Amino acid sequence: MMQEVIIATKNPGKVKEFIRMFEPHGIKVKTLLDFPEINDIEETGQTFEENAILKAEAICKQFGQMVIADDSGLIVDALNGRPGIYSARYAGEGKNDEANNDKLLAELLDVKEQDRSARFYCALALALPGKSTITVSGECEGSILFERRGTNGFGYDPIFLITEMNRSMAEITPEEKTQISHRAKALQKLEVKLPNLF
């Protein structure tokens, strides 16, 4: 089927997840790290889906091949959905995971355990030349811990408790994450659609 796909990200953590998911299908993954000449695409959308579509279509137009873009983040109920689409830059423009976690934990300092529900959300957009862009999404339900736990993963993983496993996202193995993460669930939906695209 498809021998190569460009994943529209420079995030090394996300890159590893996509490679783990596509390698078994014999699909070579390239990312924006392979194309340093591509400038960052401004994420001006109001939703995860809009931002994913913006990125996928812009790069697809530039290279004329299949591109998958992901926009994902953390939705915390007690914070009215924040950090949401601003998850990567929550503590400022630098995309600093530690600072983002510190800010979130500080904002939830007085929030009781039962009121700390949250979910990771991922929107994926697949753009192909001459075809309509497809979007899918996935969620992983959980809650926000009071302190960091675990050393795996990236982003908000150390403070996100996966309800069904009673472990933080940073305490599970990469293989387990490939099964249950918001990105994994979105990719499973995308895989179902792939055969109908060609």
Is 71 one of the annotated active-site residues of the chain?
yes
Task: For residue 19, give every residue at least 6 positions away whose Cβ sits within 8 Å of its Cβ, in sequence order, or none.
Answer: 29
Q: Rounded to whole angstroms, how far apart are CA atoms 140 and 20? A: 19
Could you tell me the CA-to-CA distances from 131 to 3, 50, 58, 125, 165 in Å, in that order? 18, 17, 14, 12, 39
Tokens of residue 147, six digits: 């302190």
Q: Which one of the listed residues 34, 40, 71, 115 is annotated catalytic?
A: 71
Q: Tell me if 76 sits within 8 A of 122, measured CB to CB.
A: no
SS3 content of the chain, % helix, strand, coil (to 5): 40, 25, 35
Could you tell me the CA-to-CA distances from 18 to 49, 91, 101, 168 in Å, in that order? 18, 26, 24, 21
CA–centroid distance for 95 within its chain: 14
Residue 10's closest CA among 82, 59, 46? Answer: 59
Could you tell me the CA-to-CA distances from 180 to 155, 175, 187 in Å, in that order? 16, 9, 11
User: What is the set of active-site residues?
Assistant: 71
